[in-house]
Chains A and B, each alone.
Chain A
Amino acid sequence: MQMGMQNLPDSPGRRETAGPAPALSETQPRKLGGRNRGRAWRRFLRHRLAVTGLIVIILLVLMAVLAPVLSPLNPNAIDLRAPLAAPSAQHLLGTDAVGRDLLSRLIFGGRVSLSVGFVAVGLYLVIGTVLGVLAGFYGGAVDMVIMRVTDAVMCFPSLIVIIVIVSILGPGIVNIMLGIGLLRWPEICRLVRGQVLSLRDRDFVTAARAVGAPETRIAFRHVLPNTLSPILVAATFGVANAILTEAGLSFLGLGVQPPTASWGGILNAAQQLSALADRPWMWIPAGVLLSVTVLAINFAGDGLRDALDPHMVLEGG
């Protein structure tokens, strides 16, 4: 399989973990000479959708951090006199089945989505990077074993296995992060391995070896930093996917449990036909916010991919 994937650098990936389809790269003027961070940053800023995405992400992070200040009421306060209330001056988006203020829960829900996105991806970045560097740099039997394990893990539909893992460990935010982290690293592992393989015999590695640097140091201090751009792009799309996975699990009732507010958990109410049909204000705002978040991250990721395009770096270097 890896041969197939390497033949298709532009492929949108596999299964439901796939990032968005091919880049918008040709919407950007191809300018040579971009090598340093400033050039990449300027290219990113020319990508209008990506900049919009970045601004939205910053706003969402601010909303999550400032949730206690922004939300009008305590998101977990139960008001049994006003369950399932329609939007009013007191509850701008109404209340849920036990009378919790939905606007406040919506604001706090961003914390769950964003923290699952960043922590889960951080987790599998570490796993995938370490295994990928080991496989690519040392080769031989190490490579063989790591790649066969990668193949086996990649065969599983990750959502199903994450559901099984979460049901084994018990539902909750930490176990969702663990589940995603344990299932989604193969993509990063292959990416890093491919990069390391292409860098392993370059002159700067030989130079490092000539001055007597230990192999592990060469692998992690000299080779790894040069693989960062594609990892960063894959990680950005990974955050979007992790957020979707968490929302899906919480929507199924297998994810973050009440009273903790999460967007997927708010959408779970729509599994009841009465809420779905008669109280759209209960679930539509959470779905819209979720969609906007994922869209913003995907746009930013697309801009990042254009800005860090390795071909431009090589041509200019």
Chain B
Amino acid sequence: MFRYIVRRVLVSIPVLFGITIIVFLLINLTPGDPVDALIDPSEPHSPETLQALRENLGLNQPMPVRYVIWLRELAHGNMGYSFQTWRPVSGMVWQAMKNTLLLTGLSLVLAVAIGVVLGIVSALRRYSGLDYGLTVAAFSAISIPNFFIGLLAIYFFAVKLRWAPAGGITTTGVDRTMVTDVLRHLALPTLVLTFRNVAEFLRYTRSSMLDVLSMDYITVARAKGLRERAVTSRHAFRNALLPVLTLIGLRLPFLFSGSVIIEVVFTWPGMGLLAVESISKRDYPAIMGVTLVMALVVLLANLITDVSYAVADPRIRYE
């Protein structure tokens, strides 16, 4: 067991370096000078000023040197300063991450609750009209682009019915700590994100439940005269839930990077909006910070998932 975990962690180390190299190369191969994005183009700038600015930012160093400096600073938790706001990137990413997690976490909890219930209903009434309807609905939820659902939600619920605001996280002028105000702003993006996740949990719970219902121990439970309700709730449901827990593990990356376009549609100040805005402003340190954090979180989630599989299933350890 211990040896498996050590081996699994060791395998992650080259992947970790691979991730940092990919992020670094990606950003540094970008044509266009970040200095251009900093200066006011309407004012004249002498080449000397521009050169001084470049040196100030460390952009004159050769690429491998910059990579090592960047890596060293990263190890100290320093992701540099945004070219746009001059605030530390770590702080910006942290703030954005909290906003994103609020949105995606709420949506995931709702999706699991609704999806599992609908999935069980669907499995218990297999081949009924309801089952068929839920199947088609689930496929639709997976197929309709979520930004289109987002636009429809804004059109109907924000513009026509005026039930909820169309974007942002707070009403301008209202104190940030007003919980009800933030909740009102959360309503529409959460609704849209939940839609697709419900579909995935529904389909997964349904097939898991059907697998369990075909097991011998369910037949035994029925044969010994248990009421159908007891069979489904006590014997089938609990066992069907295990694979659903696995799916929750697989969806962990969604918490950090699953809402990119929806954040843009609803101007929700999270990681996705930060990423898209940084890219359009060529804010290299911010782009690197967001992308890196998103990738590292996935790496960590995969590691945790694999280790927990090994804890649950001894066969994996000896592969």
Contact = CB atoms under 8 A, between A and B. Distances in A.
Interface of A: 1, 3-4, 7-8, 10-16, 18, 20-24, 26-27, 49, 148-149, 151-157, 159-161, 163-165, 167-168, 240, 244, 247-248, 251-252, 267, 270, 273, 276-277, 280, 283-284, 287, 290-291, 294-295, 298-299, 302
B309 A159 contact: no
Given A12-B247, A248-B147, A49 B294 contact: no
B127 A27 contact: yes
Given A11-B246, A157-B260, A247-B145, A163 B276 contact: yes
B200 A18 contact: yes
Interface in B120-137: 126-127, 135-136
Contacts of B114: none
Given A18-B200, A22-B203, A163-B279, 11 more contacts: A10-B207, A12-B250, A15-B254, A148-B15, A156-B294, A160-B257, A164-B26, A168-B26, A168-B30, A276-B155, A290-B148
A159 B142 contact: no
SS of B interface (majority): helix
Contacts of A247: 145
Contacts of A148: 11, 14-15, 18
Interface of B: 11, 14-15, 18-19, 22, 26-27, 29-31, 126-127, 135-136, 138-140, 142-145, 147-148, 151-152, 154-155, 159, 166, 199-200, 202-204, 206-207, 210, 243, 246-247, 250, 253-254, 256-258, 260-261, 264, 272, 275-276, 279-280, 287, 290-291, 294-296, 298-299, 302, 305-306, 309, 313, 316, 319
A299 B147 CA distance: 21
B280 A167 contact: yes
B199 A21 contact: yes
A98 B138 CA distance: 38
A79 to B, nearest CB: 26
A168 B260 CA distance: 19
Contacts of A294: 143-145
A247 B302 CA distance: 29
Contact of B309 (A4, A22, A167, A273): A4
Nearest to B201: A21
Contact of A290 (B18, B139, B145, B258): B145
B247 A11 contact: yes
Contacts of A21: 138, 142, 199-200, 202-204, 207
B309 A3 contact: yes
A14 B250 contact: yes
A244 B145 contact: yes
**A7, A16, A152, A167: which has the most chain B beta carbons within 10 Å?**
A152
A155 B147 contact: no
A23 B29 CA distance: 42
Contacts of B316: 3, 7
A153 B159 contact: no
Contact of A7 (B29, B126, B296, B309): B309
A15 B291 contact: no
State the 10 A-B residue pairs at the shortest beta-carbon distance, nearest first: A21-B203, A152-B18, A157-B257, A287-B148, A295-B143, A22-B207, A294-B143, A291-B144, A155-B298, A1-B302
Contacts of B15: 148, 151-152, 155
A7 B140 contact: no
A49 B253 CA distance: 31
Contacts of A280: 155
Contact of A168 (B29, B127, B202): B29
Nearest to A287: B148
A26 B200 contact: no
Contacts of B14: 148, 152
11 contacts: A21-B138, A21-B199, A26-B126, A148-B15, A151-B18, A152-B15, A153-B22, A155-B296, A157-B294, A240-B143, A291-B148
